[in-house]
Amino acid sequence: MKYELVAGFETHVELSTKTKIFCGCTTAFGGDPNTHCCPICIGLPGTLPKLNRQVVKYAIMAGLATNCEIAEVAKMDRKNYCYPDLSKAYQISEYDKPLCEHGFIQLSNGRKIRILRIHIEEDAGKLIHAHGDTYVDYNRGGVPLIEIVTEPDFRSADEAREYVEKLQQIMRYIGVSDCRMQEGSMRCDVNISVRPEGSEKLGTRTEIKNMNSINNIVKAMEYEFERQVDVIENGGKVIQETLRYDDATNTTSSMRGKEDANDYRYFRDPDLVTILTSREEVEEIRSMLPELPEKKQERYIDEYGIPEKDAQLLTKYRKVSEYFDEAIKDIKNPKTVSNFIIGSIFRRVETEKDKEEFAVATSPKQLNQLVKMIEDKKIQNNLAKKTLEQMLDTGKDCTAFIDESDLGGIDDSALTSMCQSAIDSNPNAVADFKSGKEKALMALLGNVMKQSRGKADAQSVKAKLIELIG
């Protein structure tokens, strides 16, 4: 019998506010244990929380960017459970009246992953296991989160990968979170079940908790699917439980039985007021959203003729796309700018964090000036590449590295002389070219480019060489 994977995601995204959701403590990552907390975020008796307005704004931005409906009335609830990382034995979250509902993210295969809800809540602290003991660090407690809950719409691990990558990209673009999974600011809980192919009935689900790597999400889903199929085919029953994933062994193992909503005994938090959001406020926030990556990618392809793969690279990080948009102003062929960014500049910003910040020495205005010199036929592309490397090293304008003798190219008589010199000094390359080895022409081309100090046009050189060789 063939089986089908069915999965849904609960993704926790830490919001990039300066202070926590209910108090004035910093949300900065790191710090010595228990130094970024106070009586409010620890939940000492007698303290009163006060909702951070920026948290609500960021959650609405996330909802709008994922096609959600924004509720005019929402409220905060207490989710009750006893665990060492939650000192007050309840988490303040939203239950039956979340801020955002009924959105979607569309995948490249055309399928829509439906978003059931996006609600705001506080993060818990962190348990540290060392030397046989367990310690609690409450620095993370009270950091504001949005939880993005999907319907069980995933049918493969590849769909899950694309969804997480798109969600991460959108949240970064709108500026609500850095979504650095390695730092825990984006974590996924994956609910998985299997069913016979063609069946509409959902199987018993398991939940893999706190996945903070896209590659591990994919591997864990593939493993858990195979495990559940094996259990069913061997006459067993899948148990509803919460699992952890071990990337060292590529296996899942049980943590505890899986809770249902009624186990948490939700009730309205009496210390927090109702959240009221007007349509005017929602539209004002909508107007502040940047152009989203999918729309921007389409525009680069349709308006500028950028190849799809290059457009994906340019739009993956917001600051890269903003740099590109600034650098192509009044440029006839934006692909020249794209090639310089993806080639010379990307070689110097290799990591994800580097591309997020995109703090390169050469400004978009400086790159724009360099490309305009190519388009005005003052310099050739190969000299521009060399010049850009010098610009990236120093932060100086292109004019600091291009003198009068570099401008204006090479006249025809000089080009003919250089090409003839290259032919005379490389008889073996000429013979190889005549025998059908077209790559031999590159040796002659390189000779001419060296003679001209990069000023000659490569296509003109090729044509002249072929003409002289006969």
Categorize the per-residue pLDDT at 258 as very low, low, confident or very high, splitting at 50, 70 and 90: low
Residue pLDDT, tens place only, 15-71: 999 999 999 999 998 889 999 999 999 999 999 999 999 999 999 999 999 999 999
Cα 21–chain centre separation: 24
User: 403 or 140: which carries more pLDDT confidence?
Assistant: 140
Residue pLDDT, tens place only, 428-439: 888 888 888 888
Predicted local distance difference test score (pLDDT) of residue 408: 55
C-alpha–C-alpha distance, residues 38 and 139, integer Å: 9
Q: Provide the whole-model pTM.
A: 0.83
76, 272 in Cβ contact below 8 A?
A: yes
Predicted local distance difference test score (pLDDT) of residue 302: 96
How is the chain split into domains, by residue range?
3-284, 291-406, 412-469
Q: Which neighbouring-strand residues pair with 5?
A: 194
Categorize the per-residue pLDDT at 358 as very low, low, confident or very high, splitting at 50, 70 and 90: very high
When pLDDT is averaged across residues 268-287 and rounded to a whole number, the result is 96
Predicted local distance difference test score (pLDDT) of residue 406: 57
Predicted local distance difference test score (pLDDT) of residue 191: 96
Predicted local distance difference test score (pLDDT) of residue 322: 96
Distances in Å between the alpha carbon of 152 and those of 116, 221, 223, 258, 418? 10, 14, 18, 17, 68
Categorize the per-residue pLDDT at 246 as very low, low, confident or very high, splitting at 50, 70 and 90: very high
Residue pLDDT, tens place only, 388-433: 999 999 999 998 988 655 555 667 788 888 888 889 988 888 888 8
Residue (of 82, 112, 76, 121) closest to 96 by Cα position: 76
Please give, one letter per residue, the 3-state secondary structure of the chain: CCEEEEEEEEEEEECCCCECCCCCCECCCCCCCCCCCCHHHHCCCCCCCCCCHHHHHHHHHHHHHCCCEECCEECCEEEECCECCECCCEEEECCCCCCEEEEEEECCCCCEEEEEEEEEEECCCEEEEECCEEEEECCCCCCEEEEEEECCCECCHHHHHHHHHHHHHHHHHCCCCCCCHHHCCEEEEEEEEEEECCCCCCCCCEEEEEECCHHHHHHHHHHHHHHHHHHHHCCCCCCCEEEEEECCCCEEEEEEECCCHHHHCCEECCCCCCEECCHHHHHHHHHHCCCCHHHHHHHHHHHHCCCHHHHHHHHCCHHHHHHHHHHCCCCCCHHHHHHHHHHHHHHHCCCHHHHHHCCCCCCHHHHHHHHHHHHCCCCCHHHHHHHHHHHHHHCCCHHHCCCHHHCCCCCHHHHHHHHHHHHHHCHHHHHHHHCCCCCHHHHHHHHHHHHCCCCCCHHHHHHHHHHHHC
**Residues in Cβ contact with 47 at an 8 Å cutoff, skipping those fewer than 6 apart:** 39, 40
Position 195, amino acid: R
C-alpha–C-alpha distance, residues 466 and 434, integer Å: 10
Predicted local distance difference test score (pLDDT) of residue 402: 80
User: 258 or 280: which carries more pLDDT confidence?
Assistant: 280
C-alpha–C-alpha distance, residues 66 and 367, integer Å: 34
Residue pLDDT, tens place only, 448-461: 888 877 777 777 88
Predicted local distance difference test score (pLDDT) of residue 404: 53
User: Average pLDDT over the chain, rounded to whole?
Assistant: 92
C-alpha–C-alpha distance, residues 317 and 173, integer Å: 7
Residue pLDDT, tens place only, 324-343: 999 999 999 999 999 999 99
When pLDDT is averaged across residues 368-394 and rounded to a whole number, the result is 90
- Among 126-135, 245-254, 442-451, the minimum mean pLDDT is found in 442-451
99, 120 in Cβ contact below 8 A?
A: yes
Provide the percentage of residues in the chain whose pLDDT is more than 70: 97
When pLDDT is averaged across residues 349-376 and rounded to a whole number, the result is 92
Domain 412-469: top CATH class: mainly alpha
C-alpha–C-alpha distance, residues 141 and 23, integer Å: 11
**Residues in Cβ contact with 205 at an 8 Å cutoff, skipping those fewer than 6 apart:** 152, 191, 192, 193, 238, 240, 258
When pLDDT is averaged across residues 152-164 and rounded to a whole number, the result is 97
Predicted local distance difference test score (pLDDT) of residue 259: 62
Residue pLDDT, tens place only, 195-232: 999 898 999 999 999 898 999 999 999 999 999 999 99
Q: Which neighbouring-strand residues pair with 178?
A: none
Predicted local distance difference test score (pLDDT) of residue 51: 97
Highest-confidence range of 122-131, 258-267, 460-469, by mean pLDDT? 122-131
C-alpha–C-alpha distance, residues 184 and 76, integer Å: 24
Asked whether residue 261 carries a pLDDT value surpassing 80, the answer given is no
